[in-house]
Amino acid sequence: MWRFAFLYEDGKYEWSYSFTPLAGIKIEGNSQTSEADAVLKLPPYYQKLFGATDENGKTTKRIVADATFTKAITDNGPVEQLGTILGEFYGFDRDRDVLEFMAEAKSLNEFLDENGGVRVFRDGVRVYNYGERAAGDDWLGLDQRRVNVPTRRISNNIILGAVDLSLEESGNTQYGLVEKTNREGFVENEAFEKFKAVVLGALIEFENLRQKDKERIKRALKTPSEKAIGDLEDPINSLRVELEKRSLSGELENHLKAIERKFNEMKEVMTHSGNAGLNLGILFHEVDRGVRGLTHDIRREAPTQDLLKRADHLSQLLDGFSTLLRKDKKKNLRIKTILRESKLLNENRFHAHNIVFSCPPLLSEHPDFEIHVSFGMILGALSNLIDNSIYWLQVKWPEGTDKSPGRAIYIGTTDYFEEGPAIVIADNGVGLPSDHTSLLKPFYTMKPDGMGLGLYYVNLVCELNNARLIMSPDHEDVGIPSAYSGASFAIVFNEKD
Amino acid sequence: MFPGAKIIAVDDEPEELEKIVSSLRKLGLACIAYNYPDDLPEDFPNGSGLRVLFLDINLVGGSSPDQDANVLNAPISLVERLVSEDNGPYALITWSSTSLHNNLIERIATTASLQQKQPFYSKALPKEEYAGAPDKLKEEVESIFSNNAPFGALIDWEKRICRAGEFVLRDISELSNEFEGQDASEKMDRMLSKLAVDAFGRAHVGAHLFESVNEALLPLLNDALNVQFNLELDGDIWTKAVTKHGQDNGLSDAAISKLNTSVAFEASNVFKPYRRGAVIELPEVWKTEEEFERKFGAKPSRIRADILKLEKPKDLDWVLIQTQAACDFSQGSIGPLPFLLAAIVPADHERKTNKKGHPLSLPAMVWVTPTLRSADILNNENFHFQIIHGIPCQITRKALEELDCKVIGRLKDQIVTSLSFEHHSHGSRPGFVSFR
């Protein structure tokens, strides 16, 4: 159903994506190609692994795989480690509702179970793996990274992929990709880590593009993406039963107590308060699924570390959204008070990432105004927008290049909108995609390994505070200086509140 | 107005915050509680002296599990604002059952602006287990200091000092009743005024109100401290705290200099040049050979070679050190201020040698400080002062102003006291702390 092909060479990154729905699923296909200045974004683990430490001990992450990424630094100058990488992935959907539209579904499932995964070729010759799929073949760790967000991550049994390298370009015996003599893959050196980083970076791009079409399939097939809260049987009871059966570590027990408390709070608020109209169902569903997954893992006696990781993720997910579920804490606040606190919260990160932060309202150059909102929620929304900006500024202005001083974030105020005053947030990063309608949907992300909840949260906060989130407002209308040519948002507060 | 709180708690959930505060209240522990962000003051009061900080990690909503940096912004920013540079040791307790606690501690450790604000101990406590359980929380707070006995011992020491201050206040409050006045405030005013005059002399009190009262109260405080320090020890905290006295401390020369500097010298240009212990650069107009000789009786090269016995360096930085006796303010006449000539001598100096190649001994008139180290002096290389108490000079306050003397720091009190004794008697003197 999905095809994604990419080329990575000397920092240049091109890709093409196509989606062909199965006959009978009444939606249109989709194809896209990369823009001219596309960059390969590194997954978070590799951002740290290949980050740099300066003479003061300050570490900076490497956000993109630029032209220097595949070059080893040697006494004799840079040496190419990987050369050109060509990849092609075919993705499949094994959801029961989708497979009903496929004549040979059983055969496909069997085939994918045996042959799924990403193979590596050198000059067209398969070098890894050699035979059928076997345990331990998951060289990209696809199945492991799927644990926390199973719906959007691609596992080995829904992908057929091939990555091709040039033996000459990648075969430097000291710095390049070296095959193990026992034919069980590659020597785990720096080149291999870089290779995995590039392939995973491309795969995540594929996942993010595919997610959008998966949502369209769901809508077309009317797969309930949001269960009614009342329909959910209480998964906590099952979890507790499993816990009681087994003696689990104190740390895990504490996690689970926290999850239980927060889950019940969430359910209470969702079912009994005026939040019924709030689009939180899908999030609740995600938590519900997480609790069930955890119960299942405990039942199958998964290693404690895996359980802890899963519980940790779930607990943090609930923590992040707990502010939305509190009793109404709105009060009258000056916008300057909110912006001042927001600046204080983010100052360290502005400094760490060399970002120039400009906020005219704090210098009394823009009007201050009073709004009736929840301080914590608006702070959370602003922090999310700033967090997004920080990431995309690093993509546009990578570390270690003389471009980095260009990073800048702007927060101003405007009275342009008739419904009320507004905060305007802008940066000089890569900007929003032209079609940004999906960005507000939960679990939709363009960041590698992001959760896709940031803008969704911002939008929810706006709804709860009688405000409106506008993406890419007209810069001239809202007074954004021309230097801030990247992403921009406006939060408009309704004065009639 | 009052000293800062010893315990501060910050949480975004008022109900949870109240549970912590009431638990601490039941233990008799005062705590400042902030409901974040609503109760946050525009400017925090001075957080100096904070010993335990309870922080909820998830203070701002909306962060996903992939956004550690975002979720940690608030706790990082609060540590920055609540803990002052001069705070001293504190423990950081977070309410967390997730891996965020470890990530927070890692980020605090790597944040440049928090280098002076590192907690000596940190721990994550799950709210579910502790927030409503005062006895359990009490055990946990106590264990912070019993498990980190050296810090627990220092807290015990700090407590004794605070109590000594309380006793002085108690005593002078009682004594003030002997003075006339319409109310307690007026009586105390008369008593403090009397103490000030007796300490500094009526002519000087107006210009030195705090110093003069302080001069009178210090002996009382000293006595109260003696009482406190001789009280029986509570438990065995000191036995657990000081256990390595039989071992080699393994300190580097640089570390020893740093330690010596902390007890002997403070580099700073904010002191007044007329204050006791002030170290001032030689006035510019005195630096010529002729003027130097006129003031100190010999050319710089001669003092270097004949008195300080230095072969290298040939050129020294000369300073003057104010060595007035502490009680001189209370004398009738203002008089010129006494200074001693001294040289800043780098650690890599070379002493002159005798015919056998042995370094020459310094004459008794030269007094040498422990090895010191300061970023502002000799490019952060080790150095010491060689102070020649055989070459005093006197400068009036007016002349100090006219000469535009630049202060580079101050010798701390115990050093100045020791130096004064040396200067006046060339004989026995009280000891001072010197790390070796």
Q: What domains are defined for chain B?
A: 7-147 (3.40.50.2300), 152-241 (no CATH), 253-425 (no CATH)
Say whether B62 and A257 touch across the interface (CB within 8 A): no
**Stretch among A114-123, A134-143, A417-426, B167-176 having the lowest mean pLDDT:** A134-143
Among A203-212, A264-273, B240-249, B369-378, name the one with the lowest average pLDDT: A264-273
Interface contact A254-B69, CB threshold 8 A: no
Contact (CB<8Å) B66/A312: no
Distance to chain B for A308, nearest Cα, Å: 9
Q: Residue A265 to residues A319, A324, B86: CA-CA distances in angstroms? A: 11, 11, 41
Nearest residue on chain B to A331, judged by CA atoms? Answer: B38
Stronger pLDDT, A303 or A198, i.e. the higher one: A198
Sequence-separated (6 or more) residues with CB below 8 Å from residue A327: none
**Separation CA A408–CA A393 (nearest Å):** 8
Contacts of A207 in chain B (CB under 8 A): none
Q: What is the rounded distance in angstroms from the CA atom of residue B302 to the CA atom of residue B280?
A: 22
C-beta separation of B144 from B7 below 8 A? no
Entry field: residues in chain A: 497
What pLDDT, in 10s, does the model give residues B172-217? 999 999 999 999 999 999 999 999 998 888 888 888 899 889 988 9
Interchain CB distance below 8 Å, B60 and A380? yes
Is residue B434 pLDDT above 60, yes or no?
A: no
Phi first, then psi: give them for residue B134, nearest 5 degrees: -60, -40
Give Cβ neighbours of residue A315 (< 8 Å, ≥ 6 apart).
A255, A258, A259, A262, B97, B98
> Touching check for B97 and chain A: CB below 8 Å?
yes
B93: pLDDT strictly greater than 60: yes
B129 contacts on A by Cβ (under 8 Å): 254, 257
In angstroms, what separates the C-alpha of A316 from chain B's closest C-alpha? 5
Radius of gyration of chain B (CA): 27
Q: What is the dihedral of CA A307, A308, A310, A311, to 10 degrees?
A: 110
Least reliable range by pLDDT among A47-51, A75-79, A239-243, B5-9: A239-243
Selected residue of A254, A259, A324, A377 to mutate for chain B interface (largest B Cβ count, 10 A): A254
- B103 contact A CB<8A: no
Higher pLDDT, A222 or A314: A314
Determine the residue of chain B that is closest to A314 in CA distance: B65
Q: In CATH, what is the architecture of A331-493?
A: 2-Layer Sandwich (3.30)
- Residue closest to A154 by CA, chosen among A102, A200, A97: A200
Asked if the model's pLDDT at residue A226 lies above 60, the reply is: no
Confidence label for B331 from pLDDT (cuts 50, 70 and 90)? low
Q: Is A305 on the interface with B (CB under 8 A)?
A: no
Among A257, A348, A457, the residue with its CB nearest the CB of B111 is A348
B39 and A CB contact within 8 Å: no
- Which residues 362-401 of chain B have a CB within 8 Å of chain A? none
User: What's the mean per-residue pLDDT of chain A?
Assistant: 84
Q: Do B65 and A345 touch (CB under 8 A)?
A: no
Contact present, B125 and B133 (Cβ < 8 Å): no
Contacts of A328 (CB under 8 A, 6+ apart): A374
Predicted confidence at residue A492, as pLDDT, reads: 96
Q: Is A319–B66 a contact, with Cβ atoms under 8 angstroms apart?
A: no
Q: A121 and A165 in contact (C-beta within 8 Å)?
A: yes
Encoded tokens for B126: 């799950």
Instruction: From B387, B402, B386, select the one nearest B285 (Cα to Cα).
Output: B402
Other CB atoms within 10 A of residue B139 CB: 12
Interchain contact B41–A (C-beta under 8 A) = no
Position B243, amino acid: T
Give the nearest partner residue to A383 out of B73, B98, B110, using CB atoms: B73
> What are the sequence ranges of the domains in chain A?
2-220, 229-325, 331-493
Closest alpha carbon within chain A to B130: A254
- Which helix (H) or strand (E) segment holds residue A427: the answer is strand A422-427
For residue A326, pLDDT over 80 is answered with: no
Q: Kindly determine whether residue B73 and residue A320, on different chains, have CB atoms separated by under 8 Å.
A: no
B16 part of contact set with chain A, CB < 8 Å: no
| Residue A461 at interface with chain B, using a CB cutoff of 8 Å | yes
What are A418-459's pLDDT values in tens digits? Answer: 999 999 999 999 999 877 878 888 888 888 877 888 898 899
Q: How many residues appear in chain B? A: 436
Distance (Å) from the C-alpha of residue A57 to the closest C-alpha of chain B? 8
Chain B nearest CA to A114, separation (Å): 32
Give the pair of three-digit tokens for residue A317. 């997910």
pLDDT, tens digit, 9 for 90 and up, residues A242-285: 777 776 666 677 777 777 777 777 776 666 555 555 566 677 77
Which residues in chain B are closer than 8 Å to A313, comparing Cβ atoms?
Answer: 65
Phi/psi at A278 (nearest 5 deg)?
-75, 140
pTM over the 0.80 mark: no
Percent of chain A residues past pLDDT 70, beyond the cut = 87
Strand partners, B351: B310
The answer to whether residue B66 scores a pLDDT higher than 80 is no
pLDDT at A106: 83
pLDDT (average), residues B345-351: 93
Q: Looking at residue B254, what is its pLDDT?
A: 82
Q: Which B residues 57-96 touch A at CB under 8 Å?
A: 58-67, 69-71, 73-74, 76-77, 80-81
Bond before A361 cis per omega within 30 degrees? no
Q: Which residues of B touch A44 (CB under 8 A)?
A: 66
Indicate yes or no: CB of A348 within 8 angstroms of CB of B37.
Answer: no
B285: which 2 tokens?
Answer: 């107009």
Single out the residue of A205, A226, A208, A326 nearest to residue A273, CA to CA: A326
Q: How many CB pairs under 8 A join A and B?
A: 130
- What's the Rg (C-alpha) of chain A? 24
Pick B129's closest partner by Cβ from A254, A324, A377: A254
Residue B7 token pair: 């315990």
B43 touches chain A (CB under 8 A): no
Q: Does A315 touch chain B (CB under 8 A)?
A: yes
Closest residue of A to B77, CA-based? Answer: A345
Residue B256: predicted pLDDT:
86
Q: Hey, which residues does A357 pair with through a beta bridge?
A: A409
Q: Chain B residue closest to A313 (CA)? A: B65
Residue A149 touches chain B, beta carbons under 8 Å = no
The interface residues of chain A toward chain B in range 317-376, judged by CB-CB distance below 8 A, are 317, 319-324, 326, 329, 331, 341, 344-349, 351, 375-376
- B60 and A345 within 8 Å at the Cβ level: the answer is yes
H/E run at residue A60: strand A59-60
